[in-house]
Amino acid sequence: MEEKKELKNCLLNQKIRVEYIPKFDHIYNVTNSPAKEGMHVEALHRLPLPYKNGQRIAFLNADEIAFLGDIIGADLSFKIDPNKISYWDGFSLPPLTTRPFELDLSDPVQYIQWKALGWWPKVAATPEEESAKPREVRWRMVNPEIQLKSRTASGMNKEQAWMLFGEYKTQKEVLLYIYSCLRDKTFDYKQITNDDLYGLFEPILNSDAASFIVQTKQEDLKTRALVFGAWMAGILTKKSDGFYYIKDTSELKLFGDKEEGSISDAANFILNPAKQTIKFEIEATFNKYKG
């Protein structure tokens, strides 16, 4: 007797929420209009099973077809036989609306609906898909548990970022250096006030706190910021090959012959124990510049 092949369980012990993404547009921005967010609140958008050129698309793989078919007790193959009634003839997807709903992926039918909905371009199955085609996507699929963890982590990042911002608030050169790393933009050192710094960093700390935190972890951050600040103050000059220290009528190259002359190269140069005098001179001149 031939031994029955063990089927691979594809069901997942999780729930997926399908959410509508409002599309704000001048066409719909009508006061008190039920369609002001791009779709009437009572409208139903029904998607058929995935198809292309009039043919059904196999949106389940072979293992899923075998396992789910065994549980449901039906042939889930996608081949169309005009002489036979197919399981798919009576299968439907949940209508999409402006209201969220959940799919239980431990349920075979809802698992199939999840896979079918995720095939359509209007429904983003992952955050990456949503970011890649924002104009096309109208609904998103999210795992509430993962979403909650992400929001919690985001909140912790934001709190940490604001604390770090407070620590560096009196070191304007550090914050301006970090801002240049994040936004590739520089300012006149003396014209930027603490209020300006707050205005520059508020959107970053609230929406991209993780990136700010990463920048604060740069090796020798304060020395790199010193190089950046001294450059803004005219104590250092930056030529096409890198940073130089301007001293009286001469200039000193702050990087090795095989280096790129970057801020990190300049920082490493003045951190060399043999070059500490240069570092102290730059610090003293920069502190005098700051007043």
| Tokens 């700390």 -> residue | 205
Within a domain: residue 100?
Answer: yes
Phi, psi of 124 (to 5 degrees): -80, 120
**With the C-alpha atoms ordered 283, 284, 285, 291, is the resulting torsion angle positive or negative?**
positive
Amino acid letter, 106: S
Domain region containing 233: 219-291
- The pLDDT-based confidence of 43 (bands split at 50, 70, 90) is confident
Write the pLDDT tens digit of every residue in 44-77.
889 999 988 778 899 999 999 999 999 999 999 9
The domain tally of the chain equals 3
**Do 129 and 184 belong together in one domain?**
no
| Residue ending a domain, choose from 170, 196, 217 | 217
Residue 2, in any domain of the structure = no
Angle at which helices 144-167 and 194-207 cross, to 10°: 160
Query: Residue with structure tokens 């095989």?
Result: 258
Q: Give yes or no: residues 99 and 110 share one domain.
A: yes
Q: What average pLDDT does range 29-38 have in this prediction?
A: 53
Residue 128 forms part of a structural domain: yes
Does 144 score more than 60 pLDDT?
Answer: yes
Bridge partner list, 247: 250
Asked whether residue 242 falls in the same domain as residue 170, the answer is no
pLDDT digits (tens, 9 = 90+) for 162-196: 999 999 988 999 999 999 888 888 888 888 888 88
8 Å CB contact between 60 and 118: no
Domain identity same for 122 and 35: yes
User: Based on the domain organization, do 26 and 131 belong to the same domain?
Assistant: yes
Please tell me the distance from the alpha carbon of residue 222 to that of residue 203, in angstroms, as a whole number. Answer: 23
**DSSP letter (8 states) at residue 8:** P
pLDDT at 1: 44
pLDDT in tens, 188-227: 888 888 888 888 999 888 888 888 888 888 888 999 999 9
Q: Quick one: 268 and 281 in the same domain?
A: yes
Structural domain includes residue 236: yes
Model confidence pLDDT, tens digit, residues 254-291: 988 878 888 888 999 999 999 889 999 999 999 998 88
pLDDT, averaged across the chain = 84
Does residue 283 sit in the same domain as residue 211? no
Residues 285 and 242 in one domain: yes
Whether residues 20 and 107 share a domain: the answer is: yes
Round to whole Å and give the CA distance between 59 and 111: 12
* Shared-domain flag, residues 138 and 227: no
**Is residue 7 one of the residues assigned to a domain?**
no
pLDDT-above-90 percentage for the chain: 35
Of the pLDDT bands very low, low, confident and very high (cuts 50, 70, 90), residue 91 is: very high
* 197, 217, 237 - which closes a domain: 217
pLDDT at 5: 66
Kindly tell me if the per-residue pLDDT of 148 is higher than 60: no
Tell me, yes or no, whether 275 lies in a domain.
Answer: yes
The verdict on residue 62 lying in a domain is yes
How many C-beta neighbours within 10 Å does residue 94 have?
17
Domain boundary among 217, 233, 261: 217
177 plus 134 within the same structural domain:
no
The domain that contains 285 carries what CATH number? 3.30.250.10
Q: 248, 198 in Cβ contact below 8 A?
A: no
CB 60 within 8 A of CB 115: yes
Q: Are residues 124 and 192 in the same domain?
A: no
Inform me whether the pLDDT recorded for 31 exceeds 70.
no
